[in-house]
Amino acid sequence: MDLLLMTLTTGIMVGGIYALVALGWVLIYKCSGVLNLAMGEMTLIGAYVSLSFYSMGVPFLLSLLFSLIIGFILGILTERIFLDRLIGEPVLTVIMVTVGLSFFFKGTVEFIWGTDTRVFAPPVFSIEPVRLGPLIIGEVYLWSFVAAIILLVVFVCFFKYTRWGLAMQATADDEMAALSVGVSARFVYAAAWAIAFMAAGVGGTLLGNINGLNISVGYLGLLVLPVVVLGGLNSVPGAILGGLIIGVLQNFCGAYLDRYFPGGVKEVAPFAFMAVFLLFKPYGIWGWERIERV
C-alpha cells in the first residue's frame, strides 16, 4: 500500500514536469502546426544555463529567471533565424529543420558544457522529504508540481483572456484568415517559440535538480511526444493530463514491472501505451477533431 501511494504521488509530481515541457510543445504546434523535435535539446539548454548561473553563486530563483530571459531571447532568435523563412513552406520541411536544430543544440551544449553529469551544488532543495498527511514527497517533486500548476493557470488565462492568446489560437485555426484581419503571424510564431523555450528551461532545470544534469535529460524531448499525443496535440489541458498520466505510468512500470522485465520498461512503457491508446482515440483526449458539418 505504501509503495502504491508513493509511486502514485511521485508519478504525479514528475508528470508535472512533463506537463510543463509539453505545454511549450503544444504552444508551438497549436499556432504553427510544427511538430517540434528539438524540444528536448531546448530543455537541456535552459537547464544548463540556470545551472551555470547557480554554480557562479547566483541564487536559485534568480538563475532560473536568467534562464527564462535567455530562453526567451533564444526562442525569438531561433524563430527569426531558422524558421521565419520557412513560413509558407510545407510543414514537413519545417519538421525536418527542427530535427536539424535538435542536433545543432545538442552539439552546442556538448561543446560548451561537456558531457559529464553535473549537479546543482549545493543542492537547491533539501533531501528531507515533505510530509503531507500520509504522503511523503521529495521537496523537488513538490516544487516542480507547483511550478507546473502555476504555469498551467497562466497559460490558460493567456489563451482565454488576452488578445495575443486569442490571436495565437486563431492563427492555429486558419492562418490566412488571421492574417487577413491584421494578426501578425511572424509575431505569433516568435512568441510561441519564446514561450516554449522558457517552459522547456523550467522543466529542464527542475529535472536537473532531481537526477543531475547531462545530455540524457534531453530524452525528455522524446518523452514529450507520447504526452502530447495522449492529451491531443493541440490541447493545453490535454498536455497537463497527458503529462500526469505518463508520469504515473512510468513510475508504476518502474515499481512493479521492472522486477519481471528488468531494464528499460520505464522508458518503453509510455511509447507502448501511446501506440495502444491511439488505436482507440486517434485524436487524443482533448485534441481538435476536424469539424465537419453535416
Partner 1 sequence: MQPTNSILKINNIEVKYHEVILVIKGVSIEVPEGGIVALLGANGAGKSTILKAISGLLKHEDGQVTDGSIEFMGQRIDRMPPEKIAKMGIVQVIEGRRVFEHLTVEQNLKVGAHMRKFGRSIKEGLEMVYHYFPRLYQKRNETAGLISGGEQQMTVVGRALMTSPKLILLDEPSMGLAPLLIHEIFNIITRLNAEEKISMLLVEQNAKLALNVAPYAFVLETGRIVMNDTAEKLRENPDIKDFYLGMTDLGGRKSFRDVKHYKRRKRWLT
Binding region for partner 1 (CB under 8 A) out of 96-104, 126-134, 171-179, 209-217: 171-179
Contact call for residue 176 and partner 1 (CB under 8 A): yes
Query: Three-state DSSP class for 118?
Result: strand
Query: What does the alpha-carbon distance between residue 249 and residue 273 come to, in Å, rounded to a whole number?
Result: 9
Contact call for residue 175 and partner 1 (CB under 8 A): yes
Q: Which of 1, 56, 81, 181 binds partner 1 (CB under 8 A)?
A: 181
Site string for partner 1, 65-94 (x = CB under 8 A): ----------------------xx------
Shortest distance in whole angstroms from residue 161 CB to partner 1: 10
Relative orientation angle of helices 2-32 and 236-252, to the nearest 10 degrees? 150
Shortest distance in whole angstroms from residue 153 CB to partner 1: 20
Q: Which of 179, 210, 215, 255 binds partner 1 (CB under 8 A)?
A: 179
Site for partner 1 in 260-289 (CB under 8 A): 288
For the beta carbon of residue 134, count every other beta carbon within 10 angstroms.
Answer: 9
| Cβ atoms of residues 167 and 179 within 8 Å | no
Q: Rank residues 91 and 146 by Cβ distance to partner 1 and give the closer one.
A: 91
Binding region for partner 1 (CB under 8 A) out of 11-19, 101-109, 165-173, 267-275: 165-173
Query: What does the alpha-carbon distance between residue 189 and residue 34 come to, in Å, rounded to a whole number?
Result: 10
Residues 6+ apart with CB under 8 A from 199: 20, 21, 23, 24, 27, 151
Q: Determine the size of the site formed for partner 1 (CB under 8 A).
A: 23
The owner of cell 513552406 is 89
Shortest distance in whole angstroms from residue 134 CB to partner 1: 42
Residues 6+ apart with CB under 8 A from 67: 46, 47, 49, 50, 53, 201, 202, 205
Contact call for residue 233 and partner 1 (CB under 8 A): no
Residues making contact with partner 1 (CB under 8 A): 87-88, 163, 166-167, 169-170, 173-185, 288, 291, 293
